[in-house]
Amino acid sequence: NEFDQLEQGTPGLEASEASLAANPGGEFMYAAWAEMAHDTGESDARVRRVWWIDEFIGSDAWVFGQGPNN
């Protein structure tokens, strides 16, 4: 299972005060964090939900053991 990086590391932004939580079944993970711009001092809250889909393999995913150097 793959998912995008939660915080993208945008130049000029500092992310902090992160929080993670998951539902009891483990299908969803929720992430929240604050981002602050260095030049202006403005901050904003960011939230992402990650959904685990059992046995999902994306069409562009690299599967361990199936590369050119097996």
- Over the chain (70 residues), what is each successive 10-residue block's mean pLDDT? 64 81 87 88 86 75 62
In terms of Cα–Cα distance, which of 23, 21, 43, 19 is closest to 33? 19
Work out whether strand 43-51 and strand 13-22 pair parallel, antiparallel, or are unpaired. unpaired
What is this structure's pTM?
Answer: 0.57
Cα gap 5→23, rounded to integer Å: 20
User: Which pLDDT score, from 0 to 100, does residue 1 have?
Assistant: 46
**Ramachandran bin of 4, using left for φ above 0, alpha for ψ from -120 to 50, beta for the remaining angles:** beta
